Chain A
């Protein structure tokens, strides 16, 4: 996992970019747990969201799961190609499998999330 990523306890990652925006995706752990993805619904561009708010849903063969905004802000771009290429989430979850780009209300908010080591510990403590 890249050192510039921060993670929410709900398994989203966020990477602050140099242009004041941040990229958001789902961790490899979460993608692997879902298995056999069949459908994804992404949010609308321009939507204002609060940290922890559901911003979309993803369906696997047997489950529908929400994913959540790791920080508050405005959705400025969504990965339009992703719903038609869900395998990308498993192949490249921290790159081409990104979900949305967000303009954070507070650029410092992401720093309060888990770093890679803390997230790794969280994952290892999850019930199996």
Chain B
């Protein structure tokens, strides 16, 4: 079937959210459907990219004192709390499960179109030169990869990044995480330099849920489908497996793997 199944989950901790997303990927395979979770975090926290060095996190003044969790997906560290996070799981056989850039572009293009219709100068960044060492920047929102969604700013050639995504490519499914920066983070340090969508919007963004609903509808239409919103949250559907998965993301072995 085409289209998406989507859940809007209650805010949860980092380990709980990562466990839910791991289960989302498994469920996507079982149902052979594209599944989406939309969620926030129950406290300010930092998610590290799959292979970022823990030592680099410990040295980063901008995130000092915040709880850490390691994502299964790649990319840079994200300071959560002022963002809205999404996870999408896609079977490898789906048209979006092949070229890694495709799924990234589907989500970012759709949101850029939505924002431009609302008068916000959103565009996809072409990506910095690979030789520029962009991946050595610790925080995701300091990086500019191809397709990152930025709001144009006359004084900044790279614009203000408000949406970035990264993937975990499993044997039979792809899990993509994305973070939409809504407001300037309240966490201490350098992360507070980045304004969010609501700081940058020159027109009314409106309530969050209708905005996200419009975004997902646009995405679903790309495969001639609709969004099937499910009540109760995804976490509630998988409570039995969720606790065991969360314990792995809470454990030292996962956090200290690099």
Contacts and interface: CB of A to CB of B under 8 A. Distances in A.
Interface of A: 10, 33-36, 38-39, 41, 52, 54, 57, 59-66, 68, 126-128
Contacts of B73: 63-64
A42 to B, nearest CB: 13
Given A59-B50, A62-B165, A66-B170, A35 B74 contact: no
Interface residues of B, number: 30
A127 B50 contact: no
Given A59-B51, A61-B135, A62-B165, 15 more contacts: A35-B100, A35-B101, A41-B51, A57-B51, A62-B74, A62-B166, A63-B100, A63-B168, A64-B49, A64-B167, A64-B168, A65-B168, A126-B98, A127-B95, A128-B102
Contacts of B166: 62-64
B171 A61 contact: no
A68 B168 contact: no
A127 B72 contact: no
Contacts of B135: 36, 38, 61
A10 B74 contact: no
Interface of B: 49-51, 72-75, 93-102, 104, 130, 134-135, 145, 165-171, 258
A41 B104 CA distance: 24
B50 A60 contact: no
A40 B169 CA distance: 14
B98 A65 contact: no
Contacts of B145: 61-62
Contacts of B93: 127
B100 A33 contact: yes
The 10 closest A-B pairs by CB, nearest first: A127-B98, A63-B167, A64-B50, A65-B169, A64-B74, A127-B95, A39-B51, A59-B51, A63-B74, A62-B166
7 contacts: A41-B51, A61-B145, A64-B49, A64-B72, A64-B73, A64-B74, A66-B171
A62 B167 CA distance: 6
Contacts of B169: 63-66
Contact of B100 (A41, A52, A54, A60): A60
